[in-house]
Every structure is written in structure tokens, then in C-alpha cells.
Amino acid sequence: MKNKIILSAVKLSTGYSSKKGKNVIGSEINLELKSNTLISLIGANGIGKSTLLRTLTGIQKPLSGEVILNHKNIDSYNPKELAQQLSIVLTENLPPSNLTVFELVALGRQPYTNWIGKLTPEDISKVNEALSLTQISYLATKKHFEISDGQLQKVLIARALAQDTPLIILDEPTTHLDLVHKVSLLKLLKKLASETNKCILFSTHDLDLALQLSDEMIVMNSEKTVMDSPENLIKNGILNSLFADETIYFDKEKAKFILKNL
Amino acid sequence: MSTKKNNIIFIGLLVLLAVCFLLNISLGSVKIPVDDIISSLSGGYATKNSWEIIIWNYRLPKAITAILVGMGLSISGLLMQTLFRNPLAGPDVLGLSSGASLGVAFVILGAGFMPSFLSEFFLSAYGMVLASILGSSLVLLAVLVVSQKLRDTMAILIVGLMFGSFANAIIGVLTYFSSAEELQKFTFWSLGSLGNQSWNNILILGITCFIGLFLSAICIKPLNALLLGERYAKSLGINFNKTRLLIIIATSILAGSITAFAGPIAFIGLAVPHIAKMIFQTSSHYILFWSTLLLGAIVLLICDTIAQMPGSDFTLPINAITSIIGAPIVVYLLVRKRKFMV
């Protein structure tokens, strides 16, 4: 199956414009996000990952260039149409509420339900499908504050799946998790990308895991933003430029970041 | 909790509402048997002619006002709590009640400064209502203007509180310059009263409450999305600014018109949504909307029944009763559940 392009960024520059002028954070960003692909976004703190994700999700307007989502400029979508193309998973804590896992995942169906939000049998089967794809059906009746961080992260992914969008964007989904849960979460994302033919983009600081599990990577450093397969990125030595720090370098043979002088 | 169990609770609440309604009409300085009330309300006659007059001219209008006020204030509390993701939010926090009080304070306390034809008009029932609605919509307008400039919902909450304090301060200044008689009149208004409403007033209140509740019902779906926070709600296709505007308008219509007719009634808007949340153990607004409506009516009917002190000629201020009865309930529920949910 040929992977079709879901989202592309053309000569994008991100940042904030104010009365004093433009504060450019990332420029000349060209991306092509395809279906059936797991893509990781890596870069040092403060390099502009969040700004890029905000721009790609249409929350923030680009300073120049454009974001094309399914052949249409992302600005030309109304909120409901956009919600049927793009779903997100955030790091921020959920406000306190009595929502059960099922109700939380079912909220993902909102772009499809009527004015009062009534779930049709089709909606309910989509929710159950999302729960079983993420292997959390057994949690359905639990309150969302009763489950562990790892389980909650899966619930939020299930919510995004229920939203039934070709593109899912996750903001640092592996923070707060231990190694085992990190691995199982990223494996889950990889499985979802191939089984449901979705394009899944996530930002992360877990470089080793991202290198091993991603189909493609977006690497941001202070000069440029490069998108390629992990193999090519290793071969071209792009990863070495990730940190502006002499004591960390990338070992091509081991495919690992190594500390000098230890 | 299963749907079946919820349905049983709902039926129970409906029965309780009917019982409270009849008891509220039955009890007071004169006790009227429930049989007579039912026969009078269903088109027949009560055994005594005086009962007939009491029911139709005093008790029934008051009971209906109690139901409307209870429903309206509770629902606006529910909307505020979800919008601001703050369990302490209520219709008072946007400064709407204070705005209404300011309007009324101006006409009652400032009547001495007006030409006599103006003061006569404003001191009539209609004038007070008009002043109160003007006061609350003025605050609403100010809040709306500011909320267009502010992106942070919490900031709007603080702006509401500031407008409230501002209005209260002006009321304080006005009371300082007013006569004892005017002061007494204003104090009585501010204690709140469900009685002495003409059928015409009730019709107006009924219409404004219906509009406010209808706007609230439109917000049920976005309110559920807001349970995940603003960013998720937006990503689910919710037009957040529009929803926020709708919620603020619905709340002001409800709180403004209710305060105009019945005075500033404390506590109901804050407490009833929590009682609903604790009974049903859910955050789903489909359930909370209807349960808050029913519970709001029930709670205010009970408070009003107590306020009229069955068997005596006294009537206590409703505003005091709502707090005396309600505050301990909330503390009890809070201690038992140990957690406040939005």
C-alpha cells in the first residue's frame, strides 16, 4: 500500500509576532507526514518543538509558509472539520472530574455526534474498538483518577483513536513513565500506526527509544529542522548536532548518545 | 453507576419534587390540607373560600417562584463551575448579583435625590426589577468586554470578583448617605423574598428562566468537552469563545432576572450542583443538567417551607435559610466524600 501524505509543511517558519516585530523560532521547515508511519520529533529543550506542534495543529498561525492538511490549508478548516482530521494527546493534567474511562474515550466522538452529543451504536462500537486496540477494555468503568499514569496515557490515546482522525499528534507521551511503560507505549503507537494506517507524530526526549522505534524522525536544532529515517539521520551525522554541548556526542556504531570524559 | 439506577433516582427526585411542592403550599401560618390543594389545583374547589384565595394568590405563586429561582440559580452555578473548572464558582462570582444589588441600591437609596415622578416609578415593583436587570447587565457587559481581551478564563473570574467588590463598595457608600427608612427597605430587599409576586411577574420570570435554561441546554455537549480542559475541548471541535459567551449570557439572564425579582439568594448556585454530583457520582452534564434542575427546585421549596415557619405568623428571610440549611449539608458531603469534583 502506498502511504499517502496526510500533512505537509511548506517553507514554514514558526514563532510569535507582536507589535515589536517577529520573534522567529523555527524557519525553513519542510515536512511530509505520511499515513502508516510513526514519526518522532526530537530536539533540545527550548528549541521550538512545542511551537512547531502548536503550529502544525493550527492553534498558532505560522509566521510564513503554510501547513497543508489533506490537500487543504489548515486555516481553512472550521473547528469541527479539523477535529475530524486531527486529534491530540497532551501532557497537561486533566482537571478533576468524575469521568469514567469509557466516558472520557467517548468524548472523542464529539465531532461526529448531534447537538446534544448523543452516542449512536456506531459511536459506541468505535469507542469499544479504541479501548480494545489500546488493550484497556478492562478499565472502562474505572474513574480516570483511579488509574496509573501509564494506563491514563493509554486512555488518552484511546480517546484520540475514537476521534477517528488520519493524524494523531502527541506531546511528550512518555514523560512520567518508567522504561517498561515507555517501551510498551511506543510499541503500541507503532502498532497503531501500521494497523490503523494512521500517521502518528510524537515529541519526545527518549532519544534511544525514538531511534529504535520510529519510522521517521524530525530533528530540530538551532540551525535547521531535518526530517528523515533514523538510519539516514545516523549516517549523515545530523544527530551529532542535536545538542550544543561538546561533552555529548553521537556514536554511529552503537547508535547511541555517549558522554565524553567519563 | 448504571443507567437503571440513575433512572430510579430520577423518578425518586420527581416524586420528592411533587411532595415538596404540595407541602410548600400546604404549610404556613394557615395549614391547608393536601386534599383541598389537589382539588383546588385540579380545577375543583377547596372546602373554605379563604383557602382558595390563599392558594391562588399567595402560596401557588410563591411555590412556582421558588421552583424557577431554584432551577435557574442551580443551573447557572453548574455552568460556572465547569467553565471556570472551580468548585467554588457560582452565579455570584461574576459579580452579577452585586450588579443587580447596585441597581436596586441606586433606586432605593438614591430615591431622595431624584425628582418625585422618577422616584415614584423606580420605587414601584417594576422600577426595582428594571434597575436590578440594568445593574446586572451593566456588570455583564463590562465582564464581556474584558473577556474579549483576556484569553485566560481564570482572569475573567477575578475580573468578576473585582466588579463585585466594586459594586459592593459603591453600595456601602450609598448606604452611608441614606436615611434609616431607605436603609431598612434596602436591607429587606437584600434578605431575599420569594413571595408577593404577581402572576405577571411570574410570567416574566418564567420566560427569562426558560430562555436561560434553553441556552444552558445548548451548552451541554461543549460543557462535557470542557471537562478535559480548554485545549482538548478546542481539539474536539468546540468553538470555545462562542461557548464561553453563551454560558456567560445564560448565567446573566438567569441570575440577573432572578435577583431582580427575589433578591440576592445565596448558596443555592454553589451547593446544589455539588449535591447533584455527589448523588449521581458523575460529571456527565446530560445527567447533571436534569438532576441539578430537579434538586434546585426541591432544595428551594424545602428552604421556603422552613422559612415560612409552619404554624406561626413569622416568615424568616429566605436568604438566611438557604445558608443555614445548605452550608452544613455541603460540609457534611465534603467530609464524607473528601473530594470536591468539578
Residues A56 and A7: their CA atoms lie apart, in Å, by 8
Query: Residue B196 above 60 pLDDT?
Result: yes
**Distance in angstroms between the alpha carbons of the first and the last residue of chain B:** 18
- The candidate with the shortest Cα–Cα distance to A219, out of A30, A25, A14, A43, is A43
State mean pLDDT over B95-100: 83
Residues B219 and B55: their CA atoms lie apart, in Å, by 37
CA distances from B291 to B175, B255, B297, B328, B330 (A): 40, 19, 10, 20, 17
pLDDT value of position B187: 86
The whole model's pTM is what?
0.88
Could you read off the pLDDT of A27-40 as tens digits, one per residue? 889 999 999 999 99
Interchain CB distance below 8 Å, B234 and A59: yes
Give the DSSP H/E element, type plus range, for residue A16.
Answer: strand A5-18
Residues B89 and B342: their CA atoms lie apart, in Å, by 10
- The candidate with the shortest Cα–Cα distance to A198, out of A137, A150, A157, is A157
A133 by DSSP, 3-state: which? helix
Residues A209 and A217: their CA atoms lie apart, in Å, by 12
Give the DSSP H/E element, type plus range, for residue A32.
Answer: strand A21-34
- The candidate with the shortest Cα–Cα distance to A174, out of A257, A104, A91, is A91
Could you read off the pLDDT of B37-53 as tens digits, one per residue? 998 888 888 888 889 88
State mean pLDDT over B325-334: 76
Interchain CB distance below 8 Å, A97 and B229: no
Q: Which three cell numbers stand for residue B99?
A: 450588579
Residues B238 and B222: their CA atoms lie apart, in Å, by 6
A42 by DSSP, 3-state: which? strand
Per mean pLDDT, which range of A112-126, B56-70, B132-146, B210-224 is the poorest? B132-146
Beta-sheet strand order (sheet of A216-220): A86-89, A167-170, A199-203, A37-43, A216-220, A225-228
Beta-sheet strand order (sheet of A21-34): A21-34, A5-18, A64-69, A72-73
Q: CA of A110, closest CA in chain B: separation in Å?
A: 6
Closest CB to A111: pick one of B224, B236, B339: B236
Query: Residue B309 above 70 pLDDT?
Result: yes
pLDDT value of position B340: 55
What one-character DSSP code corresponds to residue A92? S
Q: CA of B221, closest CA in chain A: separation in Å?
A: 5
Grade residue A190 by pLDDT with cuts at 50, 70 and 90. Answer: very high
Q: Which three cell numbers stand for residue A158?
A: 484511546
ipTM score for this prediction: 0.92
pLDDT value of position A173: 93
Chain B residues touching A141 at Cβ < 8 A: none
Could you read off the pLDDT of A60-95 as tens digits, one per residue? 899 999 999 999 999 999 999 999 999 999 988 888
State mean pLDDT over A185-207: 94
Could you read off the pLDDT of B4-30 as tens digits, one per residue? 899 999 999 999 999 999 999 999 888
Residues B254 and B72: their CA atoms lie apart, in Å, by 6
Q: Is A88 on the interface with B (CB under 8 A)?
A: yes
